[in-house]
């Protein structure tokens, strides 16, 4: 089975108004360790084709578009499976949209580490070594998982679009244990990177060893209103509410509250303002890509500038539906830095500094958030006390009332922006 | 799938000429997902996720090679490559031995009262759309409504030297979701079910739709509650997520092996109120996470995790059971053939007690009834827990007042919460909409549930 063969079958289907084929070829090497011992070694090789069929017809006097997506792999009866998808497409009635034309040019982004591509087994072994050598004497490496992946994507559509992208991906997950016997505590670190140089698990292990040690003496946070500084893992999902609300789908489905030219928070603000960009072109970004899933060249989009909503991020479907310029889906989030240093954000306490949650995912409709604290510190009277358990809660609207961004920036998997973000007057629940 | 039986048996035999233990698992998913929402529809066949994973144990560790290609030559090549790789890694015939289990060939098929294939596609899309239209018709505050139906057929074939097991699992899931908006405020809520069987499970009962609308309307105008520790009633759904997070994850024995679960030290010790019984069972009738055998070939059985407050059993996968000399339970599960097997939950629930809800509420002077859970997370090492939900209804002087707060988050120390349980309802309900991750990945279908529970909890 290959993409040309499938395209040939699709061209022979009479009723189709359009089609797309995404070929996904993936080879992944995996290692799982419990303490120093290998638990399991795995190799996974996959090639599959995601095929979307579109039909146009008239229903109740209105032109509509039907569509269905099917995944094909080796051993499938291609005509029979395509017939199934076609039958499904014919019962769906959506507003029509057109697929992207072949792009005149695509942005070029570095997404492949040639060493990972060329010798994934060696890189996997090297990461394993990095984890072992970075382990500190009083800390045990309870378990680790290492994935080394090389993937090729190729997209064709019925308008002649034919684009491809190649990427490598490294993933390391480790759990560190501090203490012995009755008193033990853990910290779990996870990191995705495209390039081996960006993984830097050794430095990360050092930080997480500190968190594991601190967890041994961590207390519940006090209950009350606090100024809270978010950093490290706490930044990864902090802006997801804005990314989803800014998307074309939220607008089309009627639940986005954002309007171009209006502030994203209804009340007056003190402190600094939010400037948020969707950036698909960050080298090594986990959401970096030259084209989106429909083959539309991705663009850098300033979504929010100084708290004012500027522009939606939309794929071709929602751009056509909403009559907007298509930009591609939301990519890596880039947040503009502020004026204060990270150290300044942590001063004038008491401050609750939060680095890791068990989970932190703001509600994409309401903006409400709450997260159980895994790693944090209460900074009071010049003393830093580790805290764990309890929660911080609020809403994204209220968070913007008084927010400050550090001038130092960091790059994480799909985030580039301030190293720390301070939100004043959040509710912390603990002891 | 049946056609693969002979070739997989042959290849397992071939591999065991070199390695101490070998097995093969073939998986294929089929089915359909249909949804209608206010302005959009979709109908797609499910991703077939068809493939085969070969497993060998070298005497030291497990190794696996997985392929999407079911052709005979590809299977032979995948198996041979795995053996050569194992030889390169080194084989130790004196290492721990893997028990292949008793000799058994068995087929398990979930039947459908109404085969979804017998229902015309157009009718299914129209039925989804009818729910969306009905929801809009019932409340003008709804800005978006969605009805999602899926039918998943999962065929799985496990082969080792003693076993040849085939299961044909079918489940139907229906979900209704609404977003309401009024006065610049928004709220989102869903309801639904997932059960083994066919299209007979498509409808969502009118009572559930009525409750969805009423509760979403209350959430829309609700404020956040004042954080503190309160007398609480957990609904069966909330009890379910509590069971799952509290001593579901905490008794997955691969976590024992990694010294990541404090539960290992507390086996046969009191961890909960004597009123508490807790189970995990892939044998529960009609539930979405029910099966005949797990992905490592272990036949299903019911595991009692907590009996009268005493922690009594863990949930094992093959590796941790072998290393820790524990009795195997059918909890070795994987997301697909592409993924590794871990110790995972199936249907996890609190057992019933004797109390009625009205008696549980009667002497609460000030507290909350928690319902509509959204997600949870547990820390098996530190026994911290986080449960989140959309709905906390005030209880004053023994009565529900109708005043609702949202969202609500429960945090606390697992044994404290479990030991604070003072009343357990007499009717267990299972909720099937959940999926469970290991850490932040490896998603498998699970269900959870329980009766109403009365306990003290820290809310925010």
pLDDT tens-place string over residues B257-306: 999 998 998 999 999 999 999 999 999 999 999 999 999 999 999 999 99
Identify the closest residue of chain A to B460 by CA–CA distance. A429
Q: Dump pLDDT digits (tens) for B121-156.
A: 999 999 999 999 999 999 999 999 999 999 999 999
> Do the chains contact at B227 and A427, CB–CB below 8 Å?
yes
Residues A279 and A334 in one domain: yes
Is the four-CA dihedral A225, A376, A401, B180 of positive or negative sign?
negative
Task: CATH number of the domain at B89, please.
Answer: 3.30.160
Is the four-CA dihedral A378, A379, A381, A385 of positive or negative sign?
positive
Residues A91 and A239 in one domain: no
Residues B190 and B137 in one domain: yes
Nearest to B451 by CA among B360, B383, B387: B360
- Cα angle for residues A230, A236, A239 (degrees, 5° grid): 80
Looking at the structure of chain A, the number of domains it has is: 2
Look at residues A216, A241, A265 and tell me which one is the last residue of a structural domain: A216
Looking at the structure of chain B, the number of domains it has is: 3
Q: Which of A37, A215, A427 sits opposite B61 (nearest CB)?
A: A37
Cα–Cα distance between A204 and A312 in angstroms, integer?
Answer: 35
Residues B247 and B330 in one domain: yes
Q: What is the pLDDT of residue A14?
A: 85
Q: What is the pLDDT of residue B56?
A: 97
Q: What is the pLDDT of residue B175?
A: 98
Buried b (16+ CB within 10 A) or exposed e, A187-219: bbbbbbbbbbeebebeebbeebbbbbbbbeebe
Residues B192 and B243 in one domain: no
Residues A133 and A15 in one domain: yes
- H/E stretch holding B14: helix B4-15
Number of residues that this document lists for chain B: 460
Q: What is the pLDDT of residue A186?
A: 92
Cα–Cα distance between B385 and B390 in angstroms, integer?
Answer: 17
- Read off the pLDDT band of B41 (50, 70, 90): very high
Interface test with chain A among B45, B135, B341, B343, by most A beta carbons within 10 Å: B45
Segment A403-407 shows an average pLDDT of 97
- pLDDT surpassing 80 at residue A260: yes
Residues B167 and B287 in one domain: no
Identify the closest residue of chain B to A45 by CA–CA distance. B67
- Read off the pLDDT band of B337 (50, 70, 90): very high
Could you tell me the maximum CA-CA distance found in chain A, to the nearest angstrom? 75
B375/B198: higher pLDDT: B198
Residue B36 falls within a domain, yes or no? no
Q: What is the pLDDT of residue B210?
A: 97
Residues A112 and A185 in one domain: yes
Residues B160 and B304 in one domain: no
Residues A71 and A91 in one domain: yes
Partners of B38 on chain A (C-beta within 8 Å) are: 253-254
Look at residues A164, A183, A216 and tell me which one is the last residue of a structural domain: A216
SS3 A14: coil
Interface test with chain A among B62, B186, B258, by most A beta carbons within 10 Å: B258
Cα–Cα distance between B367 and B377 in angstroms, integer?
Answer: 23
Of B294-308, B332-346, B369-383, the one with minimum mean pLDDT is B369-383
Q: What is the pLDDT of residue B72?
A: 94
Exposed / middle / buried, residue A339 (Cβ in 10 Å: 0-12, 13-18, 19+): exposed
Identify the closest residue of chain A to B387 by CA–CA distance. A372
Residues B269 and B244 in one domain: yes
Could you tell me the maximum CA-CA distance found in chain B, to the nearest angstrom? 72
Alpha helices in B158-235 (DSSP H): 206-220
Q: Which of B39, B85, B186 sits opposite A365 (nearest CB)?
A: B186
- Read off the pLDDT band of B438 (50, 70, 90): confident
- pLDDT surpassing 90 at residue A232: yes
Look at residues B186, B220, B254 and tell me which one is the last residue of a structural domain: B220
A358: its two tokens: 């068990």
> Do the chains contact at A88 and B179, CB–CB below 8 Å?
no
B229: its two tokens: 């520790």
> Do the chains contact at A47 and B61, CB–CB below 8 Å?
no
Residues A302 and A372 in one domain: yes
Q: What is the pLDDT of residue A270?
A: 87
Q: Dump pLDDT digits (tens) for A272-319.
A: 999 999 999 999 899 999 999 999 999 999 999 999 999 999 999 999
Residues B290 and B342 in one domain: yes
Residues A181 and A41 in one domain: yes
Residues A276 and A144 in one domain: no
Residues A320 and A185 in one domain: no
Is the four-CA dihedral B217, B218, B224, B228 of positive or negative sign?
negative
Look at residues A168, A185, A216 and tell me which one is the last residue of a structural domain: A216
Q: What is the DSSP code string of A373-429?
A: EEEEEEEETTEEEEE-SSEEEEEHHHHTTEEEEBSSEEEETTEEEESEEEEEEEEEE
Residues B216 and B309 in one domain: no
Residues B267 and B371 in one domain: yes
CA distance B187 to chain A (A): 6
- Read off the pLDDT band of A362 (50, 70, 90): very high
Q: What is the pLDDT of residue B379?
A: 82
Mean residue pLDDT of chain B comes to 95
Q: Which of B48, B439, B459 sits opposite A73 (nearest CB)?
A: B48
- pLDDT surpassing 80 at residue B439: no
Mean residue pLDDT of chain A comes to 94
> Do the chains contact at A254 and B143, CB–CB below 8 Å?
yes
Is the four-CA dihedral B444, B1, A43, B258 of positive or negative sign?
positive
Cα B319 to Cα B313, B327, B329: the distances in Å are: 16, 11, 12
Q: What is the pLDDT of residue A372?
A: 86
Partners of B155 on chain A (C-beta within 8 Å) are: none
Residues A119 and A142 in one domain: yes
Domain residue limits at B65: 4-27+46-102
Is the four-CA dihedral A159, A161, A162, A166 of positive or negative sign?
negative
Domain residue limits at A209: 3-216
Q: What is the pLDDT of residue B184?
A: 84
Residues A300 and A405 in one domain: yes
B407 cis-preceded (ω within 30 degrees of 0): yes
Of A374-378, B123-127, B223-227, the one with minimum mean pLDDT is B223-227
Fill in the DSSP letter of residue B259. Answer: T
Per the listing, tokens 């041994």 go with: A216
Residue B37 falls within a domain, yes or no? no
Q: What is the pLDDT of residue A209?
A: 96
Residues B129 and B233 in one domain: no
- pLDDT surpassing 90 at residue A57: yes
B159/A74: higher pLDDT: B159
Q: Dump pLDDT digits (tens) for B55-92.
A: 999 999 999 999 999 999 999 999 999 999 999 999 99
First and final C-alpha spacing in chain B: 50
Look at residues B220, B251, B272 and tell me which one is the last residue of a structural domain: B220
Residues A229 and A193 in one domain: no
How many CA atoms lie within 13 Å of B160's alpha carbon, on the beta-carbon side? Answer: 22
> Do the chains contact at A175 and B260, CB–CB below 8 Å?
yes
SS3 A254: coil
> Do the chains contact at B227 and A429, CB–CB below 8 Å?
yes
Look at residues B220, B250, B268 and tell me which one is the last residue of a structural domain: B220
CB B435 within 8 A of CB B413: no
- pLDDT surpassing 80 at residue A268: no
Cα A14 to Cα A19, A52, A290, A328: the distances in Å are: 12, 15, 32, 30
The set of long-range contacts for B94-99, using a CB threshold of 8 Å and a minimum separation of 24, is B94/B59, B95/B20, B95/B57, B95/B58, B95/B59, B95/B60, B96/B59, B96/B322, B96/B323, B97/B20, B97/B21, B98/B20, B98/B21, B98/B57, B98/B318, B98/B322, B99/B322, B99/B328
CB B8 within 8 A of CB B75: yes
> Do the chains contact at B259 and A184, CB–CB below 8 Å?
yes
Cβ–Cβ pairs < 8 A, chains A and B: 207
Segment B209-223 shows an average pLDDT of 96
Residues B357 and B417 in one domain: yes
């Amino acid at each position: 089975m290959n993409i040309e063969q499938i395209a040939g079958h699709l061209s022979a289907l009479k009723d189709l108004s359009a089609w797309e084929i995404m070929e996904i070829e993936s080879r992944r090497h995996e290692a799982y360790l419990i303490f120093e011992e290998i638990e399991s070694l795995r190799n996974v090789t996959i090639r599959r084709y995601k095929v979307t069929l579109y039909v146009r017809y008239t229903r109740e006097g209105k032109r509509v578009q039907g569509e269905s997506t099917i995944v094909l792999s080796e051993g499938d009866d291609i005509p029979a499976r395509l017939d199934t998808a076609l039958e499904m497409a014919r019962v769906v009635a959506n507003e029509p949209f057109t697929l992207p034309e072949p792009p005149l040019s695509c942005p070029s982004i570095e997404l492949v580490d040639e060493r990972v591509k060329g010798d994934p087994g060696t890189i996997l072994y090297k990461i394993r070594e990095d984890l072992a050598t970075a382990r500190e004497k009083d800390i045990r490496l309870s378990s680790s998982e290492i994935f080394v992946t090389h993937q090729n994507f190729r997209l064709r559509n019925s308008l002649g679009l034919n684009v491809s992208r190649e990427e490598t991906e490294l993933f390391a997950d480790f759990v560190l244990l501090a203490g012995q016997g009755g008193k033990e505590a853990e910290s779990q670190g996870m990191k995705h990177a495209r390039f081996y140089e960006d993984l830097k698990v050794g430095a990360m292990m050092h930080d997480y060893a500190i968190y594991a040690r601190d967890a041994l003496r961590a207390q519940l946070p006090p209950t009350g209103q606090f100024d809270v500084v978010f950093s490290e893992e706490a930044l990864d999902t902090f802006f997801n509410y804005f990314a989803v609300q800014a998307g074309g789908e939220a607008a089309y489905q009627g639940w986005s509250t954002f309007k171009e030219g209006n502030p994203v928070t209804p009340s007056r603000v003190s402190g600094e303002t939010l400037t948020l960009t969707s950036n698909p072109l960050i080298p090594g970004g986990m959401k970096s890509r030259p084209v989106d899933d429909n083959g539309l060249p991705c663009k850098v989009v300033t979504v929010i500038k100084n708290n004012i909503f500027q522009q939606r991020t939309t794929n071709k479907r929602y751009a056509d539906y909403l009559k907007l310029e298509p930009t591609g889906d939301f990519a890596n989030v880039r947040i503009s830095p502020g004026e204060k240093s990270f150290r300044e954000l942590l001063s004038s306490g008491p401050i609750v500094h939060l680095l890791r949650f068990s989970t932190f995912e703001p509600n994409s409709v309401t903006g409400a958030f709450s997260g159980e604290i895994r790693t944090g510190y209460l900074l009071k009277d010049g003393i830093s006390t580790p805290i764990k358990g309890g929660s911080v809660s609020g809403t994204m609207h209220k968070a913007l009332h008084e927010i400050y961004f550090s001038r130092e920036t960091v790059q994480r998997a799909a985030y580039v922006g301030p190293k720390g973000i301070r939100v004043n007057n959040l509710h912390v629940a603990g002891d | 799938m049946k056609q693969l039986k002979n070739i997989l048996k042959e290849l397992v035999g071939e591999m065991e000429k070199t390695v101490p233990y070998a097995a093969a698992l073939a998986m294929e998913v089929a089915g359909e997902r249909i949804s209608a929402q206010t302005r959009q529809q979709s109908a797609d066949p499910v991703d077939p996720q068809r493939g085969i994973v070969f497993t060998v144990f070298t005497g030291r560790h497990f190794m696996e090679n997985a392929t999407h290609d079911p052709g005979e030559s590809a299977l032979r090549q995948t198996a041979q490559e795995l053996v050569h790789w194992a030889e390169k890694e080194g084989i130790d015939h004196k290492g721990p031995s893997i028990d292949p289990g008793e000799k058994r060939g068995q087929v398990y098929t979930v039947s459908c009262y109404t085969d979804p294939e017998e229902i015309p596609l157009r009718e299914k899309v129209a039925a989804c759309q009818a729910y969306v239209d009905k929801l809009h018709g019932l409340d003008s505050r709804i800005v978006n409504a969605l009805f999602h139906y899926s039918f998943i057929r999962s065929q799985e074939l496990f082969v080792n030297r003693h076993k040849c097991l085939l299961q044909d699992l079918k489940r139907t899931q229906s979900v209704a979701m609404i977003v309401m908006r009024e006065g610049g405020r928004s709220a989102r809520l869903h309801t639904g079910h997932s059960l083994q069987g066919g299209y007979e499970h498509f409808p969502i009962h009118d009572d559930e739709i009525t409750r969805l609308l009423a509760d979403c309307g209350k959430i829309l105008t609700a404020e956040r509650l004042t954080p503190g520790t309160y007398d609480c009633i957990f609904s069966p759904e909330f009890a379910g997520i509590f069971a799952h997070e509290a001593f579901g994850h905490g008794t997955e024995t691969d976590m024992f092996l990694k010294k990541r679960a404090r539960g290992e030290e507390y086996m046969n010790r009191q961890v909960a109120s004597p009123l508490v019984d807790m189970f995990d069972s892939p044998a529960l009738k009609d539930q979405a996470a029910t099966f005949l055998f797990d992905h490592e070939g272990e036949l299903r059985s019911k595991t009692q995790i907590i009996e009268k407050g005493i922690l009594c059993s863990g949930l094992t996968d093959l590796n941790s059971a072998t290393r820790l000399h524990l009795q195997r339970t059918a909890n070795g599960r994987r997301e697909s053939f592409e993924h590794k097997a871990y110790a995972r939950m199936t249907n996890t629930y609190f057992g019933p007690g004797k109390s009625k809800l009205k008696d549980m509420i009667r002497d609460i002077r000030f507290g909350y009834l928690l319902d509509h859970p959204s997600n949870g997370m547990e820390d098996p090492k530190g026994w911290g827990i986080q449960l989140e939900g959309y709905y906390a209804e005030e209880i004053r002087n023994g009565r529900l007042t109708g005043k609702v707060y949202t969202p609500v988050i429960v945090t606390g120390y697992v044994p404290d919460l479990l030991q604070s349980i003072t009343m357990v309802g007499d009717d267990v309900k299972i909720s099937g909409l959940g999926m469970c991750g290991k850490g932040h990945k490896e998603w498998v279908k699970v269900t959870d549930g329980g009766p109403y529970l009365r306990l003290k909890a820290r809310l925010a």
